[in-house]
Amino acid sequence: MNPAVRDRLLRRLPCPASAGDPLAPHTTFRIGGPAEVFAQPRTVAELTEALRVARDERIPVFYLGLGSNILVSDEGFDGVVIRAQEDLCRMHMAGNIVCSGPGARLLDLTGFVAAHGLSGMEALSGIPGSVGGGLYMNAGAYGAEIADTFAEADALSEDGRVQTLRRGDIHFGYRRAPELENVIILQSRYTLRLGDQQSIYAEMRRVWKLRRAKQPLDFPSAGSIFKRPPGDFAGRLIEAAGGKGARVGGAMVSPKHAGIFINVGGATATDVAALVRQIRRRVYDEFHVLLEPEVKPVGFKEDPFAIAI
């Protein structure tokens, strides 16, 4: 980014903003170069104005949740990275409907509804990331998805219009919500059902135990690297192809769960991308299945996961 443009952006943005902040501390992989500009809006008004300013300056924007399910380039992001704060992270109840800002932790949302004796989100307990990010990718686990309780969301379109998208407006699929790909979530609402609080907490504890038993929670990771292929599991295919424990630099296929890559120390985005390509090649050569990455690359000039087939 031209330094003059960067300085003008910093003056025009309506919220706390800085230049050159490293993104690695803001991702669950603990990987990534700096943001040219790192903006932290605290209200819907600040977020809306920050996006308008970036659009006016023709500067690309990346909306960062809690940094899960992404791989940030070693060169960082040449644009404005937005991280929601304060009002944009708050939640409140309206009867059996919970309203959440996009920056709230999904972990906090599941705990919040449980504390009010409401059921429907137990299986999502422990999923890392923000509510906005979880909605964007239709986060799910153990047979449930965030779409199951979703009612509606207020969203900002690319042209600056605010619209309300209801459940029927969005064609949720496996780890995708196409109508949300080009909008920014301002607030989302979920319909829950009254439940027995002891049973709700018992189910959440069961889910947490499953996560601890099956996932490598002791190392930084971005969660599942690949989407589940039809009728199979990425981890099973990777293990069967001899990929479990494979390593490039500080990036490793987890010996505990082959579907998750971990940062065992000092891993770079280049390491992870090379490992993704290696594993995709192994699985394709062995089973003729091309695994589709679930992790979103950020700041790369070309697709870092592409292989020739």
pLDDT value at 158 more than 90? no
Residue % of the chain over a pLDDT of 70: 100
Q: Which CATH class is domain 3-86?
A: alpha beta
pLDDT given for residue 54 in this prediction: 94
On whether the CB atoms of residues 284 and 307 are closer than 8 A, the answer is yes
The CATH fold of domain 91-199: 3.30.465
pLDDT band at 69 (very low <50, low <70, confident <90, very high): very high
3-state secondary structure 69-125: CEEECCCCEEEEEEECCHHHHCEEEECCEEEECCCCEHHHHHHHHHHCCEECCHHHC
Higher pLDDT, 161 or 74: 74
Residues 168-216 pLDDT 10s = 999 999 999 999 998 999 999 999 999 999 999 999 999 999 888 888 8
pLDDT band at 239 (very low <50, low <70, confident <90, very high): very high
From its phi and psi, is residue 106 left (phi > 0), alpha (psi between -120 and 50) or beta?
A: alpha
Active site residue 228: no
Q: Which CATH number fits domain 217-298: 3.20.20.220, 1.10.150.80, 3.90.78.10, 1.20.58.60?
A: 3.90.78.10
Active site residue 188: no
Residues 142-153 pLDDT 10s = 889 999 999 999
pLDDT given for residue 126 in this prediction: 85
Rounded to whole angstroms, the Cα distance separating 223 from 202 reads 24
pLDDT given for residue 211 in this prediction: 86
pLDDT band at 262 (very low <50, low <70, confident <90, very high): very high
Residue whose entry in the numeric block shows the structure tokens 């940062």: 263
pLDDT value at 128 more than 90? no
pLDDT given for residue 141 in this prediction: 87
pLDDT given for residue 283 in this prediction: 98
pLDDT given for residue 159 in this prediction: 80
Rounded to whole angstroms, the Cα distance separating 137 from 293 reads 13
**Catalytically annotated residue among 122, 145, 152, 294:** 294
Higher pLDDT, 160 or 35: 35
**Catalytically annotated residue among 167, 175, 206, 228:** 175
Rounded to whole angstroms, the Cα distance separating 22 from 83 reads 13
On whether the CB atoms of residues 221 and 261 are closer than 8 A, the answer is yes
Give which of 119, 125, 64 is closest to 89, Cα–Cα. Answer: 64
pLDDT given for residue 213 in this prediction: 86
Rounded to whole angstroms, the Cα distance separating 139 from 176 reads 8
Residues 14-56 pLDDT 10s = 999 999 999 999 999 999 999 999 999 999 999 999 999 999 9
Give which of 211, 218, 295 is closest to 254, Cα–Cα. Answer: 218
Active site residue 175: yes
What is the domain partition of the chain in residue ranges?
3-86, 91-199, 217-298
Give which of 22, 67, 29 is closest to 273, Cα–Cα. Answer: 29
**Catalytically annotated residue among 119, 188, 224, 254:** 224
